[in-house]
Amino acid sequence: MRISLHPIARTSKRFIHFKHDPLNIAFFGSGDFSVSSLGKILELQKRCPEKISSVKVITRSLKPSGRYLKTLAELPISEFAKSHDIPILRADTSNEIIDLTQRNNFNLTIAVSYGKLIPAEFLNKCAYGGLNVHPSLLPKYSGSSPIQYALLNDDKTTGVTVQSLHPTKFDHGRIIAQSDELEVKNDDDFDTLSKRLAQEGGQLLSDVIEKGLFLTTSRLPNIYERSLAPKIDKSKSQALWKDYNARQIKRLNDAIGPVYTFINTRTKKKGQFVDEKKRVILSEVTELKDQHNMPQLRHPGDFSLIKEGLCIKCKTGYVVTRKIKLQTRGDESPEKFIGSYHKTVGDAPPLFID
């Protein structure tokens, strides 16, 4: 991976390494994306113990989940920390975060997919401020959902940025380093793209710390246009057959899937026909490339069983799904869904509706 660094960090073919006191790192994280960065920090600590004195993980308190809310599930970052004997501190509010400075001598904050603004008072008590790994080439896709927007917009490339932590705003810090543009592959979805960006981001963060680039006051120039990537509501995952082409529906599924749609049903209950509109969840959605010997599908939302799966007509083009879940039923293969169609859907035509 080639990394864009400040010109001040280069002297011909050699890198300048800025010196600093041993780091006592407060690492704020939560999900899988943050695990890769923490792993790279621990590798750097083992390789260069003179640079990193200690690392403590700060994450949210355990929340009950599951049936009857009886299960306390650890977050990925705390599971990783436990397995590597890293101390774990819990904080849910700004005041709880600030209180941690009274019992710890942190001098650098690192926040990766933590999801909460680190209070300015906490950052000010860290001699070296804070760093953040963001999965886009800032200032493009500033916000909580940059990976989803890269997929939704069918971008061909994306990347990772290490920035300083701004005391009052998300993603308004000083850009310290950026990766090269990374290809967004045709078969990427949120999980695969997130995993690759997490690895890139972890390595980039490690390089920034190893070279002491967080000590510089200069910033990389903004070569990308600022855009926002706010949180996406799950209601946006509806497949609108009349409005979206096949590529758009595939990327919708990749970004925030599974997608959902609706179907009219007409079934007999207690001797009478009942008409209902039911929700249908579609998983494993791909774009149909080979359109030879296609069935006659005239209207957006029309569907038919083909050897690849359940084929659905879009505004233009076709998608194929390999898993269907009709409201009140479990996941079914396309073959099972079509085989039980008259029993579960009745006399209604094979048509998904918006």
The structural domains of the chain, ordered by start, are 3-215 (3.40.50.170), 234-353 (3.10.25.10)
d(CA 140, CA 179): 14
**Residue-level pLDDT, tens digit, the chain, 354 residues:** 445 555 444 433 345 677 889 999 999 999 999 999 999 999 999 999 999 999 999 999 877 665 655 667 789 999 999 999 999 999 999 999 999 988 899 999 999 999 899 999 999 999 999 999 999 999 999 999 999 999 999 999 999 999 999 999 999 999 999 999 999 999 999 999 999 999 999 999 999 999 999 998 777 888 899 999 999 998 999 999 999 999 999 999 999 999 999 999 988 887 788 889 999 999 999 999 887 777 789 999 999 999 999 999 999 999 999 999 999 899 999 999 999 999 999 888 899 999
Which 8-state DSSP code applies to residue 20?
-
- Locus of tokens 């048509």: 351
Contact in structure between 324 and 338 (CB atoms under 8 Å): no
Tokens describing residue 299? 């209207």
Which residue type is seen at 185? K
Element (H, E) at 61: none
- pTM > 0.75: yes or no: yes
- Locus of tokens 């002491």: 212
Upstream peptide bond of 22 is cis (omega within 30 degrees of 0): no
